[in-house]
Structure 1
Amino acid sequence: MRTGRPRTPIGTHGAVNTRRVGGRVVAETRVRDLDGRLRQVRASGPTAAAARSRLMERIRERPSLPGSGVLRPTSSFADLADLWLADLELRDLASNTKENYRTYLRLHVRPAFEHYTLAEVTTGRVEWFLAKQAKVSPSQAKQTRTMLNMLFGYALRHDAIARNPVEGTSQLRRAKVTPQALTLEQITAIRDAAARWRSEPGLPGPKPDGQVRHIIEVLLGTAMRPGEVLALRPCDIEDLPTGMIASVNGTVVQRKGSGAERQPRPKTDASIRRIPVPEFAAVVLRRRIADMPSDAGTRTIFASRGGRPLSPYNVRRTFREFLRLADLGSSGISLRWYRRTGATVIARGIGTDAAAAFLGHTSAVITEGHYIEPDRTVDRSPAAHLESTLRPVEPDGALLASRPAEREDELLAAVDRESDDDAVA
């Protein structure tokens, strides 16, 4: 077994020796440089103290490790959070995604760790904190784990820590919940409630303009995310003899201080797609477009009286009123169920892969974008199945009543894992 003096860490020096040479004092030590080699460094002065001070200056002037003086094991978690947020501003992410990260860090992560140094945030401490959060909210624990992983990944890349303490923590488990699609009875009840909502004579305030009722028809017929439907413009709609096609190329987000805005990119690159629209949803879009001014081609189809995109929050609030009127207020149904329902119909009609592509979940988008000429044709099969199954008059419930498609549970679980793309930003 080898023994001896421990190796000097890179960027540090050994013991300082002084000796008198003539009328001056020489201070010297060995420094281990970035290439791992030990080198002698000397400085002189009229006294030992002056020589030592000059030697320290020379050591500080030598090239240092990347990040030296910015993040170290002794840096606080608060320092890491500030630097990570500054780096976040430079990344090519949607503005609402950045704001969601900032908010979650401020409310849930930073308060728990800001008084620790990076070296003090051990795997055990992270494990304990995640387990505590998981008892309250498995979803929140999962988001916290993701945030901590990003933060300590940043620290690792800047040589502030030797390993990421999040990597050794246990996998978070959540109760297995089978995602549900809407039944035809529920769809009918919600449609009826939407038609009756605030229709009684003598109610104060303006009469409903029917927009939310029309939005849920488009959601049902296209399986889009709510923000994608709210971002549709007349210029995104092609009404061809063979049927309507909608181009998904944006989403509506809710911004602090300025309200709802159309963002010119959807949730992911895979979400940029052209999809066929079944006739029952196409009828709604044609009607709304026909009522718009002729010069409003770039305004959203669903808009406030002032011409701005509708607020996703207001749409969800009105939808909850529909549910209460339909005696479904405690059912757990949300707008996400419309996307699940469309995914279920398409998966059982023509397969899970086709449903994933229709939803914008395809993983082949990167390969196709770089190596394959895009296929501009649109398969109308999904629209045919959505039309026959979900139309208001004489719907055919055979697909919803049939056995699940292969890997359908994976597809619906992916839908449920999606974060809202219209969250406050």
Structure 2
Amino acid sequence: MVRPHKPTGELGAVTYSRLASGRVQARARITLDSGEPHRLSKTADTEALALALVCAEASKLSTGAVADLTPSSTIAEACALWLIEKRRSQTVEASSIETYEATVRTVVLPACGAVTLQEMNAGRCDRIIQRVLDTRSPSAAKKLRGVLRQVLGLAIRHGALTTNPVQHVQRLPGTVKRESSLTTEQLIQIRGLLARWTRPRGPRPDANRLEDGIDIMLGTSARIGEAMALRRCDVDIDSDAPSILIASTLTQTKTDGLKRKNSPKQPRQIRRVSIPGFTVAAIRRRLDGAGPEGTAFLFVTKSGAAYSVSNFERLIRSFREDHLDELQKMGIDTEEFTPHLFRRTAATTIEREYGISLASRLLGHANENITRNSYVVSAEAVDPRTAGILDEFVGKRL
């Protein structure tokens, strides 16, 4: 008797076994595009996570659909299919996919991986999110809500649900806005600390690299990834109006390692920024150590490779830890002493002198509300010109 054809990519029955270590092993078979059967085996802490890993591996081996969702499918199964969809998308960055995978593994599956789609009504969905908010953090709760909204949207497209219960959950508390920006006096003091930065043992810290990075972020309001991605061909410091072309950023993933992306965070954020004298000086110092070719990075390791964002963040953390007392005495919130602080300082300075529109353009934002809500630190004192305006148009009539 001829064995019936099994559709390629379709996952067979999944079986589970408990190992001596206490972990769960999930096993299944899949038919490859070549027609050959293939065995899958993944081990994880729970059945839900083991299943998700099996489905993810199956998606890499075949171009077919791993499975369809039904009302009795679990959140873990829906997450597995959702991640497959994300991986096949041409518009989702690899770094974003890794973030999604981490959120599913560390937040979603522990919170509700075994719950079926038909059990996920608005009330239960709300209770799950609120429990994560109470037991973990607002950040974890927001990640859970965001992923669940998309995963349950996929279930609607599969016909397993008719409405998305995430739409009816309670609002989560808003993110606390970062309120730090640096004054000119604080920047001068930081520069002094950098000039004297030494350690009792070992080589002198790379204060010059940190100072140049800070001066470039201050002079352009570039993100740290955009600053580290600058190349010789992106800078023009010999013309009457020195400028930098911000047209790329550095990304790093487990799969691809460190790579230069041919646009900033969003393609529309490509911009040429005129730069002040202190930034020109920093670029000159960087060019002295860069390769002669136009594609040579300004920030490089000893081997000549691009200097990663994580390396620069590690450098600024080392400086912060070595100068905690001094920074606090200056009135600086050391929790916010990150590369973003210098981007925010540049935007705040421009906004106070010339308005939100110019600050938004400098940051590369498409929406001024993003600049206002997340980057610009509001001044406590309202512009005193308001008093004169009110006297002119109201006071004379009273």
Q: Same fold (TM over 0.5)?
A: yes
Corresponding residue number in structure 1 for 2:371: 411
Shift of 1:307: 1.4
Alignment length (residue pairs): 303
Deviations 1:19-45 (A, max 9, x none): xxxxxxxxxxxxxxxxxxxxxxxxxxx
- Please identify runs of 4+ aligned residues in structure 1 that moved more than 4 A: 175-178
Shift of 1:177: 4.2
Q: Cα–Cα, structure 1 residues 123 and 207, in superposed 2: closer, same or farther, change >3 Å?
A: closer
Gaps of 5+ in 2: 1-64, 377-398
The reply on whether 1:192 has 2:192 as its aligned counterpart is yes
* Alignment-mate amino acid for residue 340 of structure 2: R
Corresponding residue number in structure 1 for 2:243: 245
Contact kept in structure 1, 2:178 and 2:375, CA below 8 Å: no
Corresponding residue number in structure 2 for 1:347: 351
Shift of 1:412: 4.5
Shift of 1:341: 0.7
Contact kept in structure 2, 1:138 and 1:172, CA below 8 Å: yes
**Alignment map for 1:107-118 (pairs within 5 Å):** 107-118=106-117
Q: Cα–Cα, structure 1 residues 263 and 144, in superposed 2: closer, same or farther, change >3 Å?
A: same
Contact kept in structure 2, 1:231 and 1:252, CA below 8 Å: yes
* Alignment-mate amino acid for residue 411 of structure 1: T
Q: Cα–Cα, structure 1 residues 128 and 150, in superposed 2: closer, same or farther, change >3 Å?
A: same
The reply on whether 1:319 has 2:312 as its aligned counterpart is no
Gaps of 5+ in 1: 1-66, 364-406, 417-425
Contact kept in structure 2, 1:260 and 1:308, CA below 8 Å: no
Corresponding residue number in structure 2 for 1:262: 260
**Alignment map for 1:23-422 (pairs within 5 Å):** 70-91=68-89, 92-135=91-134, 136-174=136-174, 176-177=176-177, 179-198=179-198, 203-205=201-203, 208=206, 210-256=208-254, 259-295=257-293, 297-326=294-323, 327-328=326-327, 331-332=334-335, 333-363=337-367, 411-415=371-375
* Alignment-mate amino acid for residue 309 of structure 2: P
TM-score of the two chains, using structure 1 as the length reference:
0.66
3-state SS of paired residue (2:167) = coil
- In 1, the alpha carbon distance for the partners of 2:67 and 2:299 equals 52
Shift of 1:176: 4.8
3-state SS of paired residue (1:262) = strand
Q: Cα–Cα, structure 1 residues 309 and 299, in superposed 2: closer, same or farther, change >3 Å?
A: same
Deviations 1:107-158 (A, max 9, x none): 1112222211111112112211222232342222222211111111121122
- In 2, the alpha carbon distance for the partners of 1:68 and 1:279 equals 58
Deviations 1:323-364 (A, max 9, x none): 23442276222221111111111111221112111101124x
Which protein is bigger by CA-based radius of gyration?
A: 1
* Alignment-mate amino acid for residue 126 of structure 1: C
Greater relative contact order, per chain length (Cα 8 Å cut-off, separation 6+): 1
* Alignment-mate amino acid for residue 413 of structure 1: N
Kindly report the root-mean-square deviation, in angstroms, between the aligned alpha carbons of the 2 structures: 2.5
3-state SS of paired residue (2:114) = coil
* Alignment-mate amino acid for residue 284 of structure 1: A
- In 2, the alpha carbon distance for the partners of 1:207 and 1:164 equals 53
- In 1, the alpha carbon distance for the partners of 2:148 and 2:100 equals 11
Shift of 1:93: 1.7
Q: Cα–Cα, structure 1 residues 359 and 179, in superposed 2: closer, same or farther, change >3 Å?
A: same
Corresponding residue number in structure 1 for 2:31: none
Shift of 1:284: 0.7
Shift of 1:209: 6.7
Shift of 1:258: 6.4
Deviations 1:73-109 (A, max 9, x none): 1112122111111110122122111111111111111
- In 2, the alpha carbon distance for the partners of 1:210 and 1:100 equals 32
3-state SS of paired residue (2:250) = strand
Deviations 1:268-294 (A, max 9, x none): 123222111111111111221133232
* Alignment-mate amino acid for residue 216 of structure 2: V
Shift of 1:257: 6.7
3-state SS of paired residue (2:242) = strand
- In 1, the alpha carbon distance for the partners of 2:170 and 2:357 equals 31
* Alignment-mate amino acid for residue 308 of structure 1: A
Contact kept in structure 2, 1:246 and 1:277, CA below 8 Å: yes
Percent identity (aligned): 30
Q: Cα–Cα, structure 1 residues 69 and 286, in superposed 2: closer, same or farther, change >3 Å?
A: closer
Q: Cα–Cα, structure 1 residues 77 and 262, in superposed 2: closer, same or farther, change >3 Å?
A: same
Q: Cα–Cα, structure 1 residues 133 and 218, in superposed 2: closer, same or farther, change >3 Å?
A: same
Corresponding residue number in structure 1 for 2:20: none
| Higher helix residue share | 2
- In 1, the alpha carbon distance for the partners of 2:81 and 2:236 equals 46
- In 2, the alpha carbon distance for the partners of 1:300 and 1:240 equals 18
Corresponding residue number in structure 2 for 1:43: none
Contact kept in structure 2, 1:228 and 1:252, CA below 8 Å: yes
Contact kept in structure 1, 2:232 and 2:295, CA below 8 Å: yes
